[in-house]
């Protein structure tokens, strides 16, 4: 950041003036007689902007050419990306009728945008309008909401594994879409904060430094939702087969409970910027990673033992082929559960690292700043 020092000049009995930097005047096009807006920031500094801050906001209709992106998946991603970048009005147009799949995907992506409605739909066009007031959605509350959803997903999976009831895993799998919706809104809010410091303050972004960290945390939470959905689907498959014994399921459930405790401590540390707890999270997450191989080995050993028992009981005939298939599938599903739970522990480590960095932005009890004499 370039710093210029200007001398305050007297312009009367009570008025003082400061000249404006020449480069800034040239870049903004300010001329004598033009008006500027001055805002006093919370830290006592002044923010100078050309023109009047109350000037009417320009609104644009962002038109997407569907003929240039005919792939329904790409078209949906383009519309979602425009929503995240802060577009208020998005219209998809085509010179010919949109395909049934294009229209279906557009309706689907519109349903995942908070505060957005379909205002017009014709055979060859699809228009969305945002009715969202960004100041009503503080970022920290949205991040907390993603955590609440994913925590409920993890609880559902643990209950399904502990009680052997796949209905709880099925409920958990359905919750991931809501986490995605809120993540998109967080990303939109953070990008708006970089464009408008007025909005930034109202949604809890006190420093531009926090935009990147909050985006990473929100993305990590969204990834945790993806991992938990995979765990939920894997749990459904494990419970659907008869290969896994209750001992294996109980062991995975106990491991998931430990992951939940780590996750809870991670978010508690982030919310309070407790760098001590964050450091413990990093240490414990590394410990989880070291357990992955042993947990996988025990899951495979259990399947192998049951196949061997079937071999002994079946004598020369050997185990039924369908038993081998079931045991192999169950072992693979258990391996998938363990792997995804380990990924959640690694995500906790990422959030903890951000917590420590943010907690050290200003002097705390752990360190102080001492002014050095000029050389």
Reported as a single tens digit per residue, the pLDDT across 307-364 is 566 565 654 455 555 655 666 667 777 888 999 999 999 999 999 999 999 999 888 7
Residue 56: inside a domain:
no
Domain of 340 in residue numbering reads as 136-359
CB 333 within 8 A of CB 237: yes
pLDDT of residue 141: 96
Q: For the chain, what is the domain count?
A: 3
The conformation of residue 364, written as its DSSP 8-state character, comes to B
The pLDDT, as a whole number, for residue 323 is 56
Compute the distance between CA of residue 211 and CA of residue 189 in angstroms, rounded to an integer.
10
Instruction: Output DSSP code: residue 56.
Output: P
Q: Are residues 180 and 80 in the same domain?
A: no
User: Does 204 lie in the same domain as 121?
Assistant: no
- How many whole angstroms separate alpha carbon 199 and alpha carbon 264? 30
Convert the pLDDT of each residue in 70-110 to its tens digit: 899 999 999 999 999 999 999 999 999 999 999 999 999 99
Spans in the chain with pLDDT lower than 50: 243, 315-316
Say how far apart CA 94 and CA 68 lie, in whole Å.
9
Residues 193 and 280 in one domain: yes
Q: What SS3 state is found at 262?
A: helix
Tell me the C-alpha distance between 225 and 214, whole Å.
17
Structure tokens at 330: 């169950």
pLDDT at 69: 85
**Torsions phi, psi for 17 (to 5 deg):** -135, 160
Q: Write the CATH number for 209.
A: 1.20.58.220
Contact status, residue 161 vs residue 249, Cβ threshold 8 Å: yes
Residue pair 224/347 in contact by the 8 Å Cβ criterion: yes
pLDDT score of 300: 66
Q: What is the CA radius of gyration of the chain?
A: 28
Place of tokens 């800034």: 24
Domain stops at, among 93, 110, 132: 132
Rounded to whole angstroms, what are the CA distances from 17 to 11, 23, 27, 46, 167?
6, 18, 21, 14, 71
pLDDT, residue 215, reads: 96
Q: Give me the pLDDT at residue 239, please.
A: 87
**What confidence score (pLDDT) does residue 325 get?**
60
What pLDDT sits at residue 303?
58
pLDDT at position 233: 95
Would you say residue 373 lies in a domain? Answer: no
* pLDDT given at position 330: 72
What CATH code is carried by the domain that includes residue 17? Answer: 2.10.260
């Amino acid at each position: 950041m370039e710093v210029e020092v200007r001398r305050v000049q007297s312009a009367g009995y009570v008025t003082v003036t400061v000249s404006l930097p020449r480069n800034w005047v040239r870049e903004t096009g300010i001329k004598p007689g033009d008006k500027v807006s001055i805002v006093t920031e919370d830290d006592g500094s002044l923010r100078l902007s050309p023109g009047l801050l109350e000037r009417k906001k320009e609104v644009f209709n962002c038109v997407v050419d569907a003929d240039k992106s005919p792939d329904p998946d790409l078209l949906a991603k383009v519309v979602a990306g425009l929503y995240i970048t802060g577009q208020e009005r998005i219209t998809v147009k085509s010179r010919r009728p949109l395909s049934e799949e294009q229209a279906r995907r557009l309706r689907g992506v519109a349903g995942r945008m908070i505060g957005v409605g379909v205002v017009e739909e014709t055979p060859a066009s699809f228009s969305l309008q945002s009715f969202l007031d960004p100041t009503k959605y503080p970022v920290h509350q949205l991040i907390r909401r993603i955590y609440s959803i994913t925590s409920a997903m993890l609880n559902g999976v643990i209950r399904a594994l502990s009680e052997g009831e796949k209905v709880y895993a099925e409920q958990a799998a359905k919750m991931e879409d809501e986490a995605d919706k809120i993540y998109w809104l967080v990303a939109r809010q953070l990008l708006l904060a970089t464009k408008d410091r007025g909005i930034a303050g109202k949604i809890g972004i006190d420093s531009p430094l926090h935009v990147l960290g909050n985006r990473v945390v929100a993305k990590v939470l969204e990834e945790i939702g993806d991992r938990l959905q995979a765990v939920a689907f894997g749990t459904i498959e494990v419970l659907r087969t008869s290969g896994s014994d209750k001992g294996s399921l109980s062991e995975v459930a106990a491991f998931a409970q430990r992951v939940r405790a780590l996750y809870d401590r991670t978010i508690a540390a982030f919310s309070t910027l407790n760098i001590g707890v964050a450091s413990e999270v990093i240490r414990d997450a590394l410990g989880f990673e070291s357990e992955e191989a042993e947990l996988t080995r025990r899951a495979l050993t259990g399947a192998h033992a049951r196949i061997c028992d079937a071999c002994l009981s079946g004598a020369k005939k050997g185990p039924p082929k369908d038993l081998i298939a079931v045991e192999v599938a169950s072992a693979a599903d258990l391996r998938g559960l363990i792997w995804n739970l380990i990924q959640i522990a690694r995500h906790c480590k990422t959030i903890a690292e951000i917590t420590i960095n943010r907690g050290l932005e200003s002097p705390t009890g752990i360190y102080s700043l001492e002014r050095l004499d000029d050389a």
